Amino acid sequence: MIGSGTPSTGRLEWTVMRGMDVRFLGSGDTFGSGGKLHTCIHVCSEETTFLIDCGASSLIAMKRFGVDPSSIDAIVVTHLHGDHFGGIPFFVLDAQLVSRRTRPLTVAGPPGLESRVHDTMEALFPGSSQAPRRFELGFVELGEGEATGIRTLTVIPYGVVHPSGAPAYALRVECGGKVISYSGDTEWTDSLLSAARDADLFVCEAYFFEKKIPYHLDYRTLMDHRSELGCRRLILTHMSEDMLRRLGGIEVEWAEDGKSLTL
């Protein structure tokens, strides 16, 4: 079963799960434009429950929308910017000190992920990275273009254009016969076509409406390539104030904190 909550209240209505349930716990940009929380996509199937990205405000989002952090089997990270991975230290501390987690947790992402998480934990809470845990915390480094098994998931990362001190990826995640892909942050690159092709859902950044800047994607450019994507459903996320003001003029769906759907 899954809980389907409303963005305004976070109350849960329990329904029988079919396919894969996807909820945007956070859909905002770095600066919280529109009051939105940092990137965090919660995915639940019959086999497993995982997060795609875990931005700095993700633990707040989980508790706001009634998601038990202890139910998460894995966290898969696109790139090492704080609005995409910065919630992991808080997640780990909550698991140690609040929820008393005992189930293993796998965190997967670009090379350098483990050391970046360690360094961030030490910067925020000195000594926390070495504190005893009742659960196993495992890290998996994803190699560009390589299919990697993580529990019941198959994750394929595609290199994108977004400097973050480590490789930045778009991710294609296969689970239970469904495919969800996410662009991460990037300017247009043809690797997005590989990530999106035949995906049941492609979640894509649209930072500006038509303004072009390095390392981020605008809506107009994305629409120029819309027919090439080959995905079954497209949802925009990670939008600036400029983009949020223009939502009345766009042709596709967009994410909201708390929005949920079933694939």
Compute the distance between CA of residue 13 and CA of residue 23 in angstroms, rounded to an integer.
14
Note the pLDDT tens digit of each residue in 138-158: 999 999 999 999 999 999 999
pLDDT of residue 3 exceeding 60, the answer is no
Tell whether the model's pLDDT for residue 5 goes beyond 80: no
Residue 19, pLDDT score:
82
Instruction: Give the pLDDT band (50/70/90) at residue 7.
Output: very low
Write the pLDDT tens digit of every residue in 10-44: 444 444 445 899 999 999 999 999 999 999 999 99
Reply yes or no on whether the pLDDT at 58 is more than 70.
Answer: yes
pLDDT at residue number 18: 56
pLDDT at 4: 38
Rounded-to-integer distance, Cα 3 and Cα 15, Å: 7
Residue 192: partners with Cβ closer than 8 Å, 6 or more residues away: 158, 160, 170, 183, 186, 204, 225, 229
Which pLDDT score, from 0 to 100, does residue 10 have? 47
23 Cβ neighbours under 8 A, 6+ residues apart = 4, 5, 41, 42, 43, 44, 65, 67, 258, 259, 260, 261
CB 83, CB 61: distance < 8 Å: no
Q: What distance in Å separates the CA atoms of residue 68 and residue 66, rounded to the nearest whole number?
A: 6
The pLDDT score that the predictor gives to residue 76 is: 98
**Helix, strand, coil in percent for the chain, rounding step 5:** 25, 30, 45
- Which domains are present in the chain? 14-245 (3.60.15.10)
**Rounded to the nearest 5 degrees, what angle is found at the Cα of 64, between the Cα atoms of 59 and 65?**
105
- The answer to whether residue 126 scores a pLDDT higher than 90 is yes
Please report which helix (H) or strand (E) contains residue 220, including its range.
Answer: helix 219-224
Q: What angle do CA 159, 161, 166 make, to 5 degrees?
A: 70
Residue type, 248: G
173-192: average pLDDT:
97
Predicted local distance difference test score (pLDDT) of residue 200? 98
Q: What is the predicted pLDDT for the residue at 16?
A: 44
Q: What is the mean pLDDT of the chain?
A: 94
The per-residue pLDDT for range 73-120, each reduced to its tens digit, is 999 999 999 999 999 999 999 999 999 999 999 999 999 999 999 999
